[in-house]
Amino acid sequence: MKLHALCASAVALTLALASPAKAEIDQTNRAFILLTTGTFIETTMCDDYEVIPGSVQKMADQNGANFDGYRTAVVAAMQAQIGMEYDRADLIPEVTQLVRTMFNEMAADFDRNKKKACAKWADILLPAGMIRRKK
């Protein structure tokens, strides 16, 4: 019986310490992650735009993206990028890498010229139907 318990403990420890298998993110989910990240950056940085309520999930559903599988990872990755508290268990490294890439690209644009960056990213994000001009 002690051997069984020892083996069970070894398996549990191995699973706890093992790095997860690399997640393969298909093009649909990559687009969802990047558009979601861009949406929240745009609406945070640009006062003229807001997120359309329910639009992020609707876009995911319409395009077959895994909203439930990536939603918390996107939020945690965004929180990590801006130095907020986040639950490390929610992070998926490949999602964090995509979010960081989008943050860096958009930050560079906003650093150069905020007004032009707001217009540039709005032109990209408005057709996706996730943001709108404030009334």
Taking each helix axis from N to C end, the angle separating 93-112 and 114-125, rounded to the nearest 10 degrees, works out to 130
- pLDDT(14) > 50: no
The answer to whether position 12 is within a domain reads no
Residue 55: CB atoms within 10 Å? 16
Note the pLDDT of residue 24.
82
CB 121 within 8 A of CB 112: no
Number of domains in the chain: 1
**pLDDT > 90: what percent of the chain?**
81
Q: What is the pLDDT of residues 76-115, one digit of tens each?
A: 999 999 999 999 999 999 999 999 999 999 999 999 999 9
Flag whether 7 is in a domain. Answer: no
Q: Which domain holds residue 65?
A: 26-133
The structure's pTM equals 0.80
Is 73 within a domain?
yes
